[in-house]
Structure 1
Amino acid sequence: MREIVFDTETTGLSFPGGDRLVEIGCVELVNRVETGRVFHVYLNPDRSMPAEAQAVHGLSDAFLADKKRFHDHVEELLDFIGDSPMVAHNAGFDFAFLNGELGKCGRPAVCMTRMVDTLMIARQRLPGAKHTLDALCSRFGIDRSRRVLHGALLDAQLLAQVYVELSGGRQIGFGLMAEPVVAAEAPVIAAVTRAPTRPPRVFSASAEELARHAAFIAGLKDPLWVVDAPVAAT
């Protein structure tokens, strides 16, 4: 199965509000294993970069000034993603910007049925834990030392590893079960021959033991369990 893990960087949080894509990174997985094929571009958003957004990803107006626009890369992008499921963290955000840019180019939106949201998967599998990409990398022992700032391709590569772990770990791609597993017949259990039952032991006292006990009780002086009769008033 082919899947595309992707991430985006933007000028802000709202495409309808005028924000645009400035970077997109995609990683190809086949049977949950990275193939080495990636798609990565920086994009000129044709608007200024807010300081808050630049602080997140470090992409400045000067850096993006000579980069191509989204429509210059759209054919290459669509060819890379094909009709594969698309995996992203908080995927609704990335899909909103991707489909917004496609709409501006007059291209059909990517169907939302293709969306796989690792944030939702993490919330279901790890309730009560932190679900940021950094937190999930730490949880699964994934090296994120290069992640000083957000970057679409680096984040997609990290997310690909997180996605594999959320999906069951590395062993899912080993193909150890090429042949269908056939249930074995129930084992035949040999009949068990029981040993003869031992007659119950008798623990009641003998007549001699009862007589000795009565003589012992009779010899006790003022036993506590004997109550004297009440004295009548005169």
Structure 2
Amino acid sequence: MSRSVLFDTETTGFEPLTGDRVIEIAAIELINDLPTGEQFHALLDPERDIPTESTRVHGITNAHVEGKPKFADVAEAMLKFFGDSPLVAHNAPFDFAFIDFELTRIGRAKLERARMVDTLVMAKARFPGMPNSLDALCRRFNVDLSARTTHNALLDCKLLADVYVELTGGRQRGLTLETEQALSFAQYERSGTRTPRLIAVDDDTRATHAAFVAKLKDPVWNQ
């Protein structure tokens, strides 16, 4: 069972070295490249104004981040969620650069580049010379884009997770019993609670099933 984390950021601009900051971080957990439902999300006070041109992209205004935690307040929780897993992002160097800048500001170590998995690189290798933005990939893989009116980090993560499944062939792997059991076990470990439910089968149902099995060649029920 392999764990990875898919994440995305929204920022005040394009260049952390000239003062741009992270205003939203979202991440979702993947087991065997499939989402488990576990996620991390934080809207942040960037300690500076959000330019109007940036708001046009992600829809986040100064009012949205007023009173929100600063990066330093959520860094520990973010890093705990990341763990030591591979980190998946679309145009990953951009997101890594911003997270690294924020980590450096508070005296924390940068993310290891060896953990980077860039879905943009994967898409370009698979579809050379074609548009490979997240929107373009969603359209190519018939992923529903109707909710994406702006670049929301959490929504983008969920969309990218569907795209990543297609890029890695994970949808086929997801049909295996092994993967289904792994996801169920991971969720059970976190919840700590699971109530077994016994399903009673009456004699007529057993007889009908036995008659059906008798018609099959080498049925798995008899192995």
Structure 2-normalised TM-score? Answer: 0.78
Shift in Å, 1:152? 0.5
Contact persistence 2:34–2:170 (CA under 8 A): no
Structure 1-normalised TM-score? Answer: 0.74
Residue aligning to 2:93: 92
Q: Which runs of 5+ in 1 are unaligned?
A: 179-234
Shift in Å, 1:145? 0.6
Off by >6 Å, runs of 4+ in structure 1: none
CA–CA separation in structure 2 for the residues paired with 1:135 and 1:117: 16
Residue aligning to 1:73: 74
Shift in Å, 1:174? 3.0
CA–CA separation in structure 2 for the residues paired with 1:17 and 1:90: 20
Shift in Å, 1:78? 0.7
Residue aligning to 1:58: 59
SS at match of 1:28: strand
Residue aligning to 1:195: none
Alignment of 1:148-187 (within 5 A): 148-175=149-176
Residue aligning to 2:182: none
Kindly provide the CA deviation profile for residues 131-186 of structure 1, in whole angstroms up to 9, marking residues without a partner as x. 010010010011111000000000011101101100114012333689xxxxxxxx
Contact persistence 2:138–2:159 (CA under 8 A): yes
Shift in Å, 1:128? 2.0
Residue aligning to 2:121: 120
Alignment CA distance shift 1:128-1:74 (3 Å): same
Kindly provide the CA deviation profile for residues 45-73 of structure 1, in whole angstroms up to 9, marking residues without a partner as x. 00001111010011111111110100000
Residue aligning to 1:105: 106
Contact persistence 2:33–2:170 (CA under 8 A): no
Kindly provide the CA deviation profile for residues 17-64 of structure 1, in whole angstroms up to 9, marking residues without a partner as x. 100000010010000111100000000000001111010011111111
Residue aligning to 2:131: 130
SS at match of 1:120: helix
Structure 2 residue identity aligned to 1:137: C
Contact persistence 2:100–2:111 (CA under 8 A): yes
Residue aligning to 2:14: 13
Structure 2 residue identity aligned to 1:11: T
CA–CA separation in structure 2 for the residues paired with 1:119 and 1:64: 29
Structure 2 residue identity aligned to 1:60: T
Residue aligning to 2:197: none
Residue aligning to 1:4: 5
Residue aligning to 1:23: 24
Percent identity at matched positions? Answer: 52
SS at match of 2:18: coil
Shift in Å, 1:80? 0.4
The alignment status of 1:146 with 2:147, answered yes or no, reads: yes
CA–CA separation in structure 1 for the residues paired with 2:95 and 2:152: 13
- Structure 1 stretch 146-155 or stretch 167-176: which is displaced more? 167-176
CA RMSD of aligned residues (A): 1.3
Q: How many residues align?
A: 178
CA–CA separation in structure 2 for the residues paired with 1:9 and 1:83: 23
Report the structure, 1 or 2, having the larger helix content. 2
Q: Which runs of 5+ in 2 are unaligned?
A: 180-223
CA–CA separation in structure 2 for the residues paired with 1:47 and 1:60: 11
The higher radius of gyration belongs to 1
